[in-house]
Structure 1
Amino acid sequence: MFKARLSVWLGVLVAVVATQFAVVVWLVNQSELERSRSLRAKDALVQYLDLAANKQRLKVWFAQYLLTDAAPVPLRDRYLERMQASLVELERLHALEAADPSDQAIETVSRQTLAALQTNFEALRAQILQAQPHTPHPNPSSERATVWDEMLGVFDISQGQDMRTLIAEAIRLQETHSRATEAAAQTALERSRRLAIFSILSTIALSMGFVAYFAWDIRRRMAPLLDGTLALQAGRMEHRIAVHGRDEFDRLSLSFNRMAEEIQLHRANEASQRQRLEDAVAQRTQDLHAANQQLLEIDRSRRQFFANISHELRTPTTAILGEAEISLRRSGHAESVYREALERVAATARQLGARIAELMSVARQGEDSLQGERHPIDMPALLQQALEQQRGAAAAQGLDLQLQGQALELLQALPGQGLQLRGQAAKLGQALTILLDNALRYTPSPGSVRLGASLDLATPQPRLVLCVEDSGIGMAPEELGRASERYWRAEAARRLRPEGMGLGLAIAADIAAAHEGRLELQARPEGGCRACLILPLDAAAQD
């Protein structure tokens, strides 16, 4: 079985690695032991050297003491403390060497030397501490020489041994021992390094062989399964894998063959069901799309209808309120003045009723109701009527509303030139009212609004141009192209009049288009805006 073979090989690999690890650990411990021996030998050598140096410094101090009586006592105590510390450290190091069997020979020699040095140090310290300044003597030089000879005996001789020779021999012995232990430590470290490299390389080689063998075996056993997977991915559900044994891969092959059979059966059923479902979904989607388009169109028509109603009712209502407020503020005038104001209110109210009737017609028939029967239009009367309707609102806002130049004379002379404007007077009056209302609404006080007319004969068909100019907030050049879109308003207009809906210019543009003309907006260099209705003229009918 593949699993059993894999477990055996893994066990062998783990055992080899564990053995190599144990050997490497042992070698590392040996290297550490040799390094500790080398460090102890070096520390002992340093302490012997410090002991000899401090002893020499103490001798110099004592000579100064004999000659001048001015040698500093703290310096003497410091030298004694250092010598005592060196002896204590040597005692500790020799105790460690005594515990190591390999250091027994050097430890025996060092212990004898250390005992002699300790005895000499005790005698020297006692003699140094008892020394007193010399008293007057007939021959001071002779006295100092005697004291110096006595101290030299203490410094250099102890129990018949020459301390200088003893310390020098101890230093030589420690140097030899230090070099030997350092060489042993280097040898152990090199041996550990070589064995570690060998262990690592052998483990890598064994692991690579193990991985290569099982990778080859797994790839050989997985190839049929991979081919079967690719066959299923390509849609060949009849593909089956040959089974030759009963190990894990053979059982996986059997499971793959049973899975392929199930997939083949389910795919056949799924194909037939999917086709039926797709047909039903396509039909239902088509029905829903048609219904959704119908609902969207109904909703659009409803929104536009109510927007038109709100705008159509607002403009005449504004004119009526303006006339009424002007009349209420007047007092002491003749009855004719009030009659004229009431007549204008009545005329505007009739127009309001006509707008309501037309909007109801739009709601019943759609916007095609704009295309009605056309009649010749009395343009001077139309301009005068539009001007009079807005005059009250202009006065209430403190604005100057006037007819520009020779507009009336020009319009009265059109029939004499064989030209006339045909269309729906009520609709054109509505468009003019919208333009005047917009100009008044977006012109701050004090300001002016002018209604003018001109004739364009440069085109094949003569055109009448009706323009409303104001000194108001105007529009940026990049905003003029969108001004006639429904529900769109310029930024400055929204700040000044946040309650608007952006329908007036769109309705005026529709009315102009219904008369085969267009609405054109321009920015005035001196500020404000110019809105023009450009309408084609027809030849006047002959009797």
Structure 2
Amino acid sequence: MFRFRLALVIAVSFSFVLLLGAGMYWGSEQVAGHFQRSQSAYKAFDHYERLSQEAYRYFKQQMDRLITGGSNAETELETSKQRLLEAMQALRDQAIKQPTNPTDRQDQDKSAELERVANLTAFLDASEYRFNEVEHLYKQGKRDLALLALSKFSDEEIDVKFQPLIDDAIHNERKKAAQAKQELENLVRQSRLAAIFASVVAAIFSLTAGIFMLGRLKKPIEALMQGTDEIASGNLSYRISLNSGDEFAYLASHFNEMALELGVQQEKLRQNQAELEYRVEERTFELHQLNQELKHMDTERREFLADISHELRTPMTVIRGEAEVTLRGPNRDAEEYKDTLHRIVDLSMQLGKYVNDLLFLARAETANLQFEWDELNLTELIGSSVEDFKVMAEVNNISLSFTGLEQSIWVKGDKQRLRQVLFILGDNACRYSKPGGHIRITSWLEAEYVHISLADQGIGIPSQDLEQIFDRHFRSQNARLLQDDGSGLGLPLARSILKAHGGLINVSSTENTGSTFTISLPLISANEDHVSYE
């Protein structure tokens, strides 16, 4: 219903607009027509004025020539005649092009205009004939008759016939211009009155329709606003009562359904919240139980570490005692030394097992490592480490070459920790190199860093594993197949130590070809800007 009323108001308003537009268009067409008629009348008036001037100039020149009998004015006479003919032709063209309206009066005006033009044309043709007769009399020597004929033409033809034709035509064109002006003024006045009337009617209609529509909208909108306020305040039991049978009643009905659905959803939320609280309480109790179990496991871990520490202390003490006793005793034969070494080897294997157990339990991070910072000669440290590498390489039937720096290179760091990094890389190179392979160690300077590269010809690292080799406990598949006793802690530990020194470690590798590890450490001048001492 409301949509129908709104559409009706819009249709009536649109009709008003169309009607007003049509009226304005008709008025503009009428104004254009009257203006064109007025302009045509003024143009015709100008043409008649020009024709009159040209005709009298021509008549005067003809009379002067005939009276004086001179021949000097022939050229001017010919020019004057030409201008008269042009004026006559322009008047004739104007009469033909004169606009007409589909009315009898306009058709009569145009016919009268054409008739006047025809009479003027006929008079000019006749005047030319009369001038020729007068000239003929002059040539026959009948001057008196010629002057009499010329005077009679001037008095009877020009003054009695030609001048009234011109005056009547000018008067008629003035009358038509005045009439067109009057009609134009009347049309403007009528258009103004019509516009005022249409504006008043449109204003009254718009005001009436606005008041009507406002009255129809006010009550349902207020009811809907009150309903939304009640729902927003939490009163989901509130219902909107509208029985208008229109779109607002439809909206109110759906609003009430929404409020009912919200109430049902709110009740479900309360139930779910209660159930959630119950489950949270259960999970809290379970977490408490798990926490107690974790505490128990932590206690067991501490006891295990204490046991392992005791077990480590024992074989180390025995190893030391065996070595000291054997060294102190004089005159020991080779068999006794051999037996002592066998016992030391067995205890070392047991000690290695304990160390491997501890490595799997270790969670060493940079923040937990202790460093003893000092200025150290890295050239000496690399040289001594290379000598140790040679021993490990010989055991594994691997050759080793070293290309290093001859001058002393000073860095700030922990000597034992840096040695640990070198041993991790050297041990991995020896463990994963093929017998008969070669290890190449190189050191060089670049900018404010010293670089140490260790390249082997071992099993290499698969490309998909390169990004993970520095993760704790990660070992590539081929490494696990070759050596099953690794822990995957060496490379992460080496990176942590280098990070604490402001350094980096990079790797490039090709599977079944070999790997190259490169470490970079800042020199002592640059190192002071990167390292935070502990």
**Deviation by residue 1:465-504 (Cα, 9 ceiling, x = unmatched):** xxxxxxxxxxxxxxxxx99446599xxxxxxxxx998854
Does the C-alpha gap of structure 1 residues 208 and 66 become closer, same or farther in structure 2, counting only changes over 3 Å? farther
After superposition, residues 98-109 of structure 1 pair within 5 angstroms as 100-102=103-105
Displacement, 1:107?
A: 6.0
Q: How many Å separate the matches in 2 of 1:101 and 1:185? A: 19
Other-structure match for 1:178? 177
Q: What's the counterpart of residue 85 of structure 1?
A: 90
Q: Is the CA contact 1:522–1:530 (under 8 Å) kept in the aligned structure 2? A: yes
Letter in 1 for 2:169: A
1:200 CA displacement = 2.2
Q: Is residue 119 from structure 1 mapped to residue 118 from structure 2 by the alignment?
A: no
In the alignment, does 2:403 pair up with 1:401?
no
Letter in 2 for 1:181: A
1:221–1:427 distance in 2 versus 1, CA, 3 Å: closer
Q: What secondary structure sits across from 2:238 in the alignment?
A: coil
Residue 204 of structure 1 and its aligned partner are, at CA, apart by: 2.7
- For the pair 1:162 / 2:165, whether they are aligned, the reply is no
Q: What is the correspondence of 1:321-336 to structure 2 with a 5 Å cutoff?
A: none
Aligned counterparts, 1:145-224, within 5 A: 158=157, 161-224=160-223
1:47 maps to: 47
C-alpha root-mean-square deviation of aligned residues, in Å?
A: 6.1
Structure 1 counterpart of 2:327: none
Asked whether the equivalents of residues 225 and 241 of structure 1 are also in contact (C-alpha less than 8 Å), the reply is: yes
Structure 2, unpaired ranges of 5+: 288-352, 388-399, 425-439, 451-498, 507-514
Cα distance, 1:214 vs. partner?
A: 0.3
Describe the superposition over 1:233-253 as per-residue Cα deviations: whole angstroms up to 9, x where unpaired: 333210112244545433443
CA distance in 2, matches of 1:243, 1:534: 77
**C-alpha separation in 2, matches of 1:251 and 1:535:** 77
Cα deviation, residue 185, structure 1: 0.8
1:262-341 aligned at under 5 Å gives the runs 262-273=261-272
- 44, 67, 72: which one pairs with 1:67? 72
- Pairing 1:96–2:100 present: yes
Offset at residue 167 of structure 1 (A): 1.1
**Residue aligned with 1:401, SS:** coil
Distance 1:274 1:83, change over 3 A: farther
**Relative to 1, partners in 2 of residues 1:198 and 1:26: Cα closer, same or farther, differing over 3 Å?**
same
Q: In structure 1, how many angstroms separate the alpha carbons of the residues matched to 2:139 and 2:61? A: 22
Paired with 2:236 and 2:500, the residues of 1 have a C-alpha distance of 65
- Matched to 1:50, the amino acid is R
- Relative to structure 1, the CA distance from residue 102 to residue 504 in structure 2 (aligned partners, 3 Å threshold; closer, same or farther) is same
Give the Cα separation in 2 of the matches to 1:15 and 1:220: 30
Partner SS state of residue 125, structure 2: helix
CA distance in 2 between counterparts of 1:150 and 1:533 reads: 138
Letter in 2 for 1:67: N
The 2-side partners of 1:395 and 1:180 are apart by 123
| Secondary structure of 2:407 counterpart | strand
The CA deviation at 1:178 is: 1.3
1:89 is paired with a residue whose SS is: helix
Q: CA deviation at 1:15?
A: 6.3
CA distance in 2, matches of 1:17, 1:262: 47
- Equivalent-residue separation in structure 1 for 2:280 and 2:53 (angstroms): 107
| Displacement after TM superposition at 1:206 (Å) | 1.6
How far the C-alpha of 1:46 sits from its partner, in A, is: 2.5
Structure 2 residue identity aligned to 1:96: T
Partner Cα distance (1:123, 1:253) in 2: 97
2:27/2:187 contact within 8 Å kept: yes
The change in CA–CA distance for 1:440 and 1:196 in structure 2 (over 3 A counts) is: same
Shift of the 78–277 alpha-carbon distance from structure 1 to 2, 3 Å rule, reads farther
Cα deviation for residue 40 of structure 1 reads: 3.3
Post-superposition offset of 1:361: 9.2
Identity %: 18
User: Which segments of 5 or more consecutive residues in structure 1 lack a partner in the other structure?
Assistant: 288-356, 405-422, 448-481, 490-498, 506-518, 524-528, 537-543
> 1-side partners of 2:176 and 2:201: how far apart?
37
Distance 1:400 1:242 in 2: 99
Sort the Cα spacing of 1:57 and 1:220 in 2 relative to 1 into closer, same or farther, 3 A.
farther
Equivalence for 1:227: 226
Structure 2: distance between partners of 1:89 and 1:373: 118
Letter in 1 for 2:89: Q
Deviation at 1:208, TM superposition (A): 2.8
Q: Which whole-Å deviations, capped at 9, do the CAs of 1:227-278 have from their partners, x for residues lacking one?
A: 2123223332101122445454334433432332233223322553477679
Query: Contact 1:116–1:158 (CA<8 Å) still a contact in 2?
Result: no
Structure-2 separation of matches of 1:184 and 1:534:
104
- 1:55/1:83 contact within 8 Å kept: no
How many Å apart are 1:187 and its aligned residue?
Answer: 2.3
Aligned pairs, how many? 372
Contact 1:241 1:257 (8 Å CA) reproduced: yes
Deviations 1:169-208 (A, max 9, x none): 4213322331232122122112212321331243133213
| Cα offsets for 1:111-130 (capped at 9, x unmatched) | 553332121233356789x8
SS at match of 1:241: coil
Matched residues in 2 for 1:55 and 1:275: separation? 118
TM (norm. structure 1) is 0.49
Map residues 410-421 of structure 1 onto 2, 5 A cutoff: none
Retained in 2: the 8 A contact 1:520–1:532?
Answer: no
Rounded Cα–Cα distance in structure 2 between residues aligned with 1:83 and 1:240: 93
Asked if 2 retains the 8 angstrom alpha-carbon contact of 1:487 and 1:503, the reply is yes
DSSP-derived class of the 1:96 partner: coil
Aligned partner of 1:84: which letter? Q
Report how far residue 101 of structure 1 moved: 4.0
- Compared CA separation, residues 150 and 84, structure 1 to 2 (3 A): farther
State how far apart, in whole Å, the 1-side matches of 2:237 and 2:257 are: 11
- Secondary structure of the equivalent of 2:100? helix
Partner residue, 1:352: none
For the residue of structure 1 that corresponds to 2:252, the secondary structure is helix
Closer, same or farther in 2 for the Cα pair 1:386/1:6, shift >3 Å?
Answer: closer
1:236 partner SS: coil
Distance verdict in 2 for CA 1:103–1:426, change over 3 Å: closer
TM-score (norm 2): 0.50
> How many angstroms does 1:44 deviate by?
2.4
